[in-house]
Chains A and B, each alone.
Chain A
Amino acid sequence: MSATRVDALPHAPAHAVGGVRGWLTTVDHKRIGILYGVSSFAFLLIGGLEALIIRAQLAQPNLGLVSAEFYNALFTMHGTTMVFLAIMPLNAAFFNYMVPLMIGARDVAFPRLNALSFWVFLAGGLFLNASFLFRTPPDVGWFGYANLTLRPFTPSPSVDFWNISLQLLGLSSIIAGVNFIATILNMRAPGMTLMRMPLFVWMTLIVQFLVVFAFPPITVGLIFLAFDRFFGTHFYNVAAGGDLHLWQHLFWIFGHPEVYILILPAFGIVSEVIPTFARKPLFGAPVMIYSGILIAFYGFGVWGHHMFAAGMGPVADAAFAIATMLIAIPTGVKIFNWLATLWGGTIRITTAFRFAAGLIGLFTIGGLSGIMHSSPPVDLQQHDTYFVVAHMHYVLIGGSLFGIFAGLHYWWPKMTGRLLDERLGRLYFWVMFVGFNVTFFPQHFLGALGMPRRIYTYSAETGWALWSLVSTIGAFILGVGVALFAVNALRSFRHGTLAPADPWDGRTLEWRTSSPPPPHDFDEIPPVYSRDTFWREKYGDRHGTKPVPRPPQPEAHGIHMPDPSVWPIVAAAGMLAAAFGALLQVALLVAGVAVTVVALFAFALEHHRNPAHADQVGELGVDHRKLAMWVFLGSECFFFGTLIATYLAYKGRSVVGPTPEEILNIPLTTLSTFDLLMSSLLMVLALAAAQRGDRRQTRLWLGGTIVFGVIFLGFQAYEFIEFAHEGLGLRTNLFGSTFFVLTGFHGAHVAVGVTWLATLLVLDLRGKLDVADAPKIEIAGLYWHFVDVVWIAIFTLVYLVP
């Protein structure tokens, strides 16, 4: 990336670009963290307002404050907003601001991608809420079960607003996931082994893996929905042989890991806050790490517990029940380890501490109602009732939000240089704690009394009025508490006590630099002696022996910070325009796509105009970009895996039309497969030449790969046209839908690869590549080989297997 030399002075001048433009083009992880924090807090308030209207409507039977249709939109938007626009990005605010500081780095692995993640997130959030302006907010539930979401049942674009914004948000999250994995694995300060990393960083790492693997299934599910709605495919069309369980499986294979994405960062925060204020190390830190990994891993195996009423059969029900109960074990271990950390400590009660301790209690309640849900017979009385609403809010507010508030109060001085008022903090902690419990504890009763979810009203005879009223009162109290926090936050900027670097006598590296940190984070990369390394420096080990201080090691070429870039926000703006265009006007769609493509090219080539840096290789000895590509390919495995699994699940279920046996041309496809395999060979030769510095051969073999790729695409185009002539199109039958979407997306991946290689070839021809750029060819090669391997799987499973 391009570089601005900053002399290693403390408090060196901030940014070359000031004011609003500075914020719009920033690539500084701290500023991006603040951008995430401010926007997500705004969305939290919007989601909270939606909740207050919902609660007001339910306070008494047959209240009629809002129409049924608007109520349905309110709970849809409340859920979608809180999950994707509030909790996830509030977590991201901390990932962005804190993780580089905690690992002793100066920024993330890909600062401009980091900015892109934020602006795409904002585009997604704005697009979702724009649906209100168009008077078609989504009203199908945050989980959007098919087939209610299909055009015959929901003709308005409400579903499309929801679909497209979720895709934007997913894109933002996956990009960030790749970025943070590369950062955490590759950019830790010398001496910081994985086991010495702070727990918050560990939880962040685990969450990023969850993100990159869990989002692709819902990406595919949403693609199927979009194709059904816009192009007449049959993925969720019962009459054509579609299975409505497909959506549920895809959604929950994402949705369950998603809840761990929501809670693990809060757990990480608690694992920082409790030890700091108890003045003791986290009890059993290695086990806390392993349990986090186990929770994430198992989290992929329990999704069926959301579908106990769906009729999966007793074997599946029992299997998912047991798997769900198993997850309770590593989760319970965390609760006990936190308690053991408190035990024998010297506890200083601060606002941050209160929220962390509150999480321990409230999450326990949420976890116990979760155990009830894990038993299908019991769950069937609770599923789709307020009992689940109670459970989920205990874990999402009592868990995630209280954890976030603990983090806000803990890291506020570091981020802003000001302390929040502790007395006001004590007040609104209790207001929030009481308000939260008054709102949600009675909802267990409402659930036990049979109140279903997602109903805009109820009759007086049900007996739900009393607890509904109590719950509503609680909601407004909770709202007051959140508002008081906002007051404290705003006041702190003017009236807050100036914060020292280490106001809490902390244990980790972020406390070792000023509050707020200088733009380059650390004047010198800090030394790392152990877990809780800063505490070790201050107080020594168990015997009080302090480590021998290492002599300062100024960087040989000074501190290089990446330049700001305009392309992330431009690309996101292009995507936003394209999103509107998809619903309004083709011209706008085309313009938006064009702007996005140009911006992405400019983004990629902007990097190229500047000299490469030697520090792109981390402790693992792997180049950042190669590590990122491997992670991305892992994500793509889930993407194509989902497409292929759907093809196989739907095999033989077509009600009409040509069958595979009748129409697939195996000999021809064998040729095209051979062509693609040969292209991989050429790619290998291209990389070898690039690594030798042989420009002529690099260009030759790159060109060859491109030609073979284009030939493959030509074969595919021919095949698609032939099929059309023989009566098989996208919407002909289920086979047409699954076949064309699967092979079409694969072809699109080949096309992207061809474009990428062509760009590299052009750069090479213009003399812009040399032997140091071989990693660029390598990662393009990795992508190319992956697309090839996916084709082998498709060729085998679709064409060859009868």
Chain B
Amino acid sequence: MLVPAAAVSAGGCAWDGPMSTLIARSDVARDVLDLYALITWASIVIAVVVFGVLGYALLRFRDRPGAPLPPQTQGHPWLEIAWTIGPALILLLIAVPTVQVVFRTQIQAKPPDALEVVVRGHQWWWEFSYPGLDVVTANEFVVPAGRPVYFALEGPDVLHSFWVPKFGGKRDVVPGRRNAITVVPDTPGEYWGQCAEFCGASHANMGFRVVVATPADFDRWLAAQRAPAVDAGAAVAAGKALFAGSACVGCHTVRGVSTGVLGPDLTHFGSRRTLGAGLFPNALEPLAEWVRDAPRLKPGVKMPAFAYTDEQARALAAYLLSLE
């Protein structure tokens, strides 16, 4: 692991940044980092040889005034054979583990003991559902550590790509096709993901969060998600009334209140860390701005602007944040 460490230290203090590919938190990611280290070493060896010879030749064989013509060597068959076979052997060294890891990590079939998460990539947000477990959420989801998670990828609009760098592996969301990727996350924590296939105006704004929890915490989360929307009572009554009486219900589901399916499910919106698919922290101020004018904050977003007053926007935001 010396090489990735060297690479990360060369990369500056952000080596443990939230999207870093050099931190492995799943079986796939660890396999990948090992292979990456191997290839990096091989590359360094080749680079040292090439640059060494190049540098030496440029210094040693300079033209001097009055120098005669050099010997007009045309070639040297054995040397050429050697430097054809040499690289071929190095490539073999890379190819064998590559093929092994490919067959370990690129299988599309679902392992029998895996937790299935259906991922639907929309322009520009992520829908996550757990078939058979009656959980639907958006832009943030939880999985248990130490168990295979089978991500089944679907899309109703354009190509997207599902990528959590610290889990390794990346798989496109291809409308009309069922792609899948299986990983075993091994370390509890919060991880970032981002769409990795250009999908239009707000491609840059299509992030998500995945929380890896202990099995016990995961079960708790599942139970909370299955429950209908929390009713925080009088404190958010104004906001709730606004929500239920306006266009929100046409696009968003809050279980027990509304059934719209064009936009993200908001039943437990308050429990999420971010808003707008990773764009802003999920807090009152940014949320109030968002409900008033999402298009200004996220280019191309399908959610329109609304003519709420400041007070109305804050009430609505308070209500949404109460939906834990």
Contact = CB atoms under 8 A, between A and B. Distances in A.
A450 B69 contact: no
A343 B60 CA distance: 9
B19 A462 contact: yes
B198 A141 contact: yes
Contacts of B63: 279, 346-349
Contacts of A332: 46, 83, 87
A147 interface: yes
B166 to A, nearest CB: 9
B179 interface: yes
Contacts of B76: 283-284, 340
A449 B21 CA distance: 6
A280 B158 CA distance: 56
Interface string B61-73: 1111001111111
B73 A281 contact: yes
A506 to B, nearest CB: 14
A65 B259 CA distance: 39
A449 B43 contact: no
A148 B200 contact: yes
Given A344-B61, A452-B195, A287 B75 contact: yes
A285 interface: yes
Interface in A661-685: none
A430 interface: no
Nearest to B42: A371
Given A371-B43, A372-B43, A542-B72, A147 B21 contact: no
A793 interface: no
A380 interface: yes
Interface string A364-395: 11001101101111101111110000000000
Given A384-B196, A450-B165, A467-B11, A318 B102 contact: yes
A38 interface: no
Nearest to B194: A452
A449 B70 contact: no
Contact size range, A: 35 or more
Given A377-B102, A455-B204, A346 B69 contact: yes
B32 A346 contact: no
Given A278-B61, A337-B80, A377-B105, A445 B36 contact: no
A238 B79 CA distance: 54
Interface stretch (B88-96, B233-241, B311-319): B88-96
B250 to A, nearest CB: 20
A348 B70 CA distance: 12
Given A375-B35, A377-B31, A449 B51 contact: no
Interface residues of B, number: 95
Contact of A368 (B46, B175, B198): B46
Contact of B11 (A245, A321, A445): A445
Interface string B300-312: 1000000000000
B46 A343 contact: no
B102 A328 contact: no
Nearest to B29: A381
B87 A381 contact: no
A68 B70 contact: no
Contact of B62 (A154, A318, A349): A349
B1 interface: no
B201 A72 contact: yes
Contacts of B39: 371-372, 375, 378
Contacts of B203: 72, 454-455
A491 to B, nearest CB: 26
Given A69-B300, A278-B70, A375-B35, A450 B201 contact: no
B73 A321 contact: no
Contacts of B103: 314, 318
A244 B106 contact: no
A446 B58 CA distance: 32
B37 to A, nearest CB: 10
Nearest to B99: A318
A242 B174 CA distance: 11
Interface string A439-451: 0000001011111
B200 A377 contact: no
Contacts of B87: 328-329, 332-333
Interface string A259-277: 0000000000000000000
7 contacts: A154-B200, A328-B91, A368-B46, A377-B28, A450-B165, A454-B198, A464-B14
Interface of B: 7-8, 10-15, 17-22, 28, 31-32, 35-36, 39-40, 42-43, 46-47, 50-51, 53-54, 57-58, 61-64, 67-76, 79-80, 83-84, 87-88, 91, 94-95, 98-99, 101-103, 105-108, 123, 157-159, 161, 163, 165, 168-172, 174-177, 179-180, 192, 194-204, 299-300
Given A310-B172, A311-B177, 6 more contacts: A147-B175, A287-B75, A347-B62, A349-B58, A447-B21, A457-B204
